Chains A and B, each alone.
Chain A
Amino acid sequence: MKGLQRRLFSVTSTVFCLAATLAVLQEVRHQLGDESTFTGWTLLASTMGLYLLSARKKWIRLKLGPVAGWLQMHMYMGVFASLVFLTHIGWPIRGKFELALAFAFVAFTGVVLGVLNRTTPRRLAAIPRDYSVDQIPALQLGVASDAHDVAMQSSVLGEGATLSEYYQRRLLPYFQSQRSLLYTLAPTGFRRRALLRELGDLDRYLGERGLQSRANLAAMIKVKDDLDFHHAIQTRLKILFAAHFALTWSLAILIAVHVVLVYRFQGAM
């Protein structure tokens, strides 16, 4: 199934399921039934469906189709479950336990993750080369080492201390240190542009070989910034995914406790 067809199918299925759920909910209301019981069990079923993605990743020997398809089903089922969740708890959210449940429901992280999952590839595609997040620290170290060598050679080659002094003052912290948390959350090109501008301002003090060294340093600044950008974007995704994944376990526990409490207090257990 092509991507567009798959998406269309997913959207249609989600809308259909939602409409069917609302229709049944309306009928339950008309029959003076317990709406919360209906929406609760619907929510539980859809939440268990969400856990199927994790199961699919475990069951690698079974031929259950590509993970991408499962991920898409996971996302649309997540949207469905979130809407059912809203009908289940009503608005405003009642009770501290339900609040914790809502938090642990991972809806927020899931939605953000879903959005980032769509937007991140486009942003990373702007970078000429793809980097694996595991390799980035080593690549950053290599770039830093190369930059150090270029700066040192520049003074040895008789171009004066202009580049080496500038490297010592401005570029060494840039190459040797990790970017701030703020950059990880919202990566920007401000520092890259500032450094390149400052480096360009040194041209009048440099000779031919010095200009060559400056050009090498400028290229390394760009590579380092690209690596940092990759690292920030992918780390952000990793953190969000870690939070999303980690909260699902708590969610399972809270759901179990919730079901027990509900039936205990309803007098059914």
Chain B
Amino acid sequence: MTVQSPENDVTASRPRPNAAWVCGRAALGHPCTQGPGINGRCSLLKQRSRNQDQQELTEDDSKEAKGQECTGGILSQPCQPTKSAWYSRRTLALNLALLCTGILLICMVFPEREALYVPGGLSQSHAQILGNTLVADRCSLCHPNTHDLGPEISQDDLCMNCHSAHVPDAHRRSAHDLKIDELKQILDRVPSQLVSLSPGKSQQLWNQETSCAQCHREHHGKQHDLQAITNQRCQSCHKQQFDSFEYGHPEFKNYPNAGHRSIAFDHRSHAEKYFTQKNQSFDCRQCHLDTAKNGVVGNVFRSVGFEKACGSCHSIAIQSELTNGWAFLQVPCLPEADLTMSLEFSEWPRGAVFDYDGKVSFALRLLLSTDPEMSTVLPKLPRSGDLSRVRQNDRPLVARKIAQSFRRLVNEIAAGGQVAWRKRLEAALELSLGRDPNYHEQALLQKLTIGLPPDLFRHMEQQWFRTVNRITDSDSLQETLSTRLRHVSAQLQQESDETELILGSDNDTSILESDAEEPKLQKLARLQASRHLPEGGWYLDEQLLAVRYVAQGHADPFLAAWSELLHILESHRGEGEGQHDSHVLPWRSTDAADRAFVPGSCLECHQLGKTSGANDIWANWRAKIRPASVRQFTKFDHTPHLTVPAVNDCRYCHKLESLPSQDGNQQVFKNLLADEMARSLESQPLANHMVHLEGYAEDYLSCEFVPMQRSQCVACHRPDGAGSGCTQCHNYHVGSEGFQWSTGELHGVGK
């Protein structure tokens, strides 16, 4: 091997690591000592061109000559320089960088550029945003600054464009979408072991803004669950650390909280008494399970409806109570001697002339309350409204005044029809409440007016009070007389049990002719509600001289409206400024007897809550069902639980409090009552205090179930079982409405 090592040869070229070009003969082991120039031109060629002063070598030629290999001896001839290693690397890096930049620029031009720049696929629910080819600037649907939407629009605003219906209060950007005072209320009221914020954190809580993307991280692919929040994220505010739901989670307190029941039901007596007497099994599913529907807590509901749950036992009793109808306007009885005392008594119905007697119903009481003279009279009526029970000394005056007012009422409605009726009701309600009726109350009044037959009142006026001429000034005398004759004839026929029907024709001849042509007409038996009005409606009770209403059975809209009106007046007592509410309900109506003011005993079962401006007229009547849009702090779905053999018996969780252990329940109540009293004293005037606490006591004493224990859930909800993450049972987005549901304020508990 004759290759000479260059490092020992002082004449050999020295390595130039920073040189861009290397002598072309280096690969042959004979690099020149000078090396190529910085432009990659062989130095020999440059020297030669300088020495020989080749004029003919133009600039173009020199370019061609660059790197050209000359003929002749190997050391004396120019070489073709090659790029050094670092220069090659730099060229490669530069080319790659240019290529990369070019690709990025080209990709920005293509309409599908989002597909390249998107940092991961969107979740299933949002995938249509990028998959939708109909929209041009798809990124700008979620990212505000991408297409100059303006700095005033935040990403959360864009989220709320679509999600305002799902989480309406999320725009507040506060913890749990709650207002500051609601957050403070939680910190004040919830036991400290549940929400234990780090020191100073509680003060920051309402100053801290949240944003959607803090928890809902997008661009993690289609399968990513946007709602999957780690327990640690919850504990960033809820500093009370515990290992898991199984170990360390605070014990339940009064969960599930029944809150206010809109339908009263005594589970214990039904289970132990009524069902036992009927030899029937007390199956919770019969009244609470509806597999055809899916509610906010699964297919279990507070009630599946009267027909399914209660009707088999209670519909007959309700029907029998309503069969004869409600005499809601009855002509008061006066003695013969009083008939001469007033012109209004001159044609008083003979059937109502014997003594001071008759009942003033709640409806009549309300309608008469608009009469200024009634302000001193109505309070003297007993609860039952029975005139015969008014104090002996007051009775004549009270009866006469009521009779006069009644007379004017009938006359007014006979003349004005439903319009006059509605006006009376509105005026009475306004007087009792001390304010204009709200939307819900207006709807109630409408329901009380729909179907009211004015001809019954005209009939009363014409036939019972014989004032046909006075109320029909515009009618012709002939028509009035014939009408009166027809009614008199009908009455006579009815009283004497005549068989022929004379009504409907002015011409006796035609009647005779028609009698000859038509088959035999039926006899008119006495009107009986049970027989002639099985589907409900209005009729005049000629015996008791009353306007009666026969209800349709359960859920009759007219009776329900009167019951709710009664409830409104009861609940409004003491709140209104007017004194006239005492005319209608002058006593404290806390006992069940008052609820019988309206037949059907609706209010025995239906515990109507606070009335509101709800559009739905039945809003207060149905069992309270939380809308799916309202999220409480806790959530639960019965449906999957009922498929688990071990817990598909409702009693696993909802154990009825046995009688001997009621003390425990009462102790819970006492504690809660003490807390509530302390709070009420601070927040409410003393006058309302007792009423408030009574309602509270009623709600809590009706708690019939043993509060659940966490251990009952832990049996399945472990990390290796059904899971035990925070968000499995808790909602983050609560908002004001959910907060009110959670704390029971919306449905009247006020705790």
Contact = CB atoms under 8 A, between A and B. Distances in A.
Shortest 4 CB-CB distances between A and B: which pairs? A138-B29, A94-B120, A142-B3, A246-B93
28 contacts: A32-B214, A32-B233, A94-B119, A94-B120, A94-B219, A94-B220, A97-B117, A98-B120, A104-B100, A134-B15, A134-B26, A138-B3, A138-B26, A138-B29, A139-B29, A146-B1, A238-B85, A242-B88, A245-B93, A246-B89, A246-B92, A246-B96, A249-B93, A249-B96, A250-B99, A250-B100, A253-B101, A265-B139
Interface residues of B, number: 49
B145 interface: yes
Nearest to A247: B96
B298 interface: no
Interface in B104-127: 104, 115-121
B120 A142 contact: no
Interface string A79-98: 00000000000101011111
Contacts of B29: 135, 137-139, 141-142
A220 B27 CA distance: 19
Nearest to B146: A265
A30 B236 CA distance: 5
B215 interface: yes
A29 B233 contact: yes
Given A94-B221, A245-B93, A267-B145, A141 B120 contact: no
A95 to B, nearest CB: 4
Given A30-B236, A135-B6, A269-B145, 15 more contacts: A29-B233, A30-B235, A32-B233, A94-B220, A96-B115, A134-B22, A134-B26, A139-B1, A139-B3, A142-B3, A253-B101, A261-B117, A265-B145, A267-B155, A268-B145
A248 B93 contact: yes
B557 interface: no
Contact of A95 (B101, B119, B210, B214): B119
Contacts of B210: 32
A138 B89 contact: no
Interface in A244-260: 245-250, 252-254, 257
Nearest to B139: A265
B143 interface: yes
A32 B117 contact: no
Interface string A220-252: 100100000000000000100110011111101
A34 B155 CA distance: 15
A264 B151 CA distance: 12
B379 to A, nearest CB: 63
A143 interface: yes
Given A138-B29, A142-B3, A267-B155, A253 B117 contact: no
A32 B118 CA distance: 24
Contact of B100 (A94, A254, A268): A254
A177 interface: no
Given A143-B1, A257-B104, A267-B154, A29 B117 contact: no
A217 to B, nearest CB: 13
Nearest to B155: A267
B477 interface: no
Contact of B96 (A96, A137, A250, A268): A250
A180 interface: no
B94 interface: yes
Contacts of A242: 85, 88-89, 92
Contacts of B3: 138-139, 141-143
A5 interface: no
Nearest to B221: A94
Interface string A25-45: 000011110100000000000
A50 B29 CA distance: 37
Given A30-B232, A94-B221, A267-B143, A138 B96 contact: no
Nearest to A93: B120
Interface string B6-27: 1000000001000000100011
Nearest to A252: B97
Interface size class of A (residues with CB under 8 A): 35 or more
A92 to B, nearest CB: 8
A248 B90 CA distance: 11
Given A30-B235, A143-B1, A245 B119 contact: no
A137 B89 contact: no
B236 A97 contact: no
Given A139-B3, A246-B96, A257-B104, A98 B236 contact: no
B242 to A, nearest CB: 15
A92 B92 CA distance: 30
A245 B85 CA distance: 12
A245 B93 CA distance: 7
Contacts of A269: 145
A99 B539 CA distance: 84
Contact of A94 (B96, B97, B104, B121): B121
Interface string B24-38: 001111100000000
Contacts of A134: 15, 22, 26
A95 B117 CA distance: 7
Contacts of A247: 93, 96
B144 interface: yes
A261 B108 CA distance: 12
Interface string A138-155: 110111011000000000
A241 B89 contact: yes
Contacts of A249: 93-94, 96-97
Interface in B199-234: 210, 214-215, 219-221, 232-233
Contacts of B220: 90, 94
B2 interface: yes
Given A134-B26, A246-B93, A253 B221 contact: no
Contacts of A34: 214
Contacts of A92: 221
A38 to B, nearest CB: 14
Contacts of A267: 143-145, 151, 154-155
A247 B88 CA distance: 13
A264 B108 CA distance: 15
Contacts of B6: 135
A261 B15 CA distance: 45
B97 A250 contact: yes
Contacts of A252: 97
Nearest to A92: B221
Residue from A143, A252, A253 with most neighbouring chain B CB atoms (10 Å):
A253
A31 B151 CA distance: 25
A97 B26 contact: no
Given A134-B15, A138-B30, A142-B29, A264 B145 contact: yes
Nearest to A257: B104
A38 B166 CA distance: 31
A97 B103 CA distance: 11
A269 B116 CA distance: 21
A264 B146 CA distance: 6
A253 B6 CA distance: 42
A95 B118 contact: yes
Given A30-B232, A95-B119, A141 B94 contact: no
Contacts of B88: 242
A252, A265, A269: residue with the most chain B Cβ atoms closer than 10 Å: A265
A134 B30 CA distance: 12
Nearest to A137: B27
A105 to B, nearest CB: 13
Interface in B630-670: none
A96 B93 contact: no
Contacts of A143: 1, 3
Contacts of A238: 85
Contacts of B119: 94-95, 97-98
Interface string B133-158: 00000010001111000010011000
A213 to B, nearest CB: 15
Interface in A49-83: none
A253 B100 contact: yes
A27 to B, nearest CB: 10
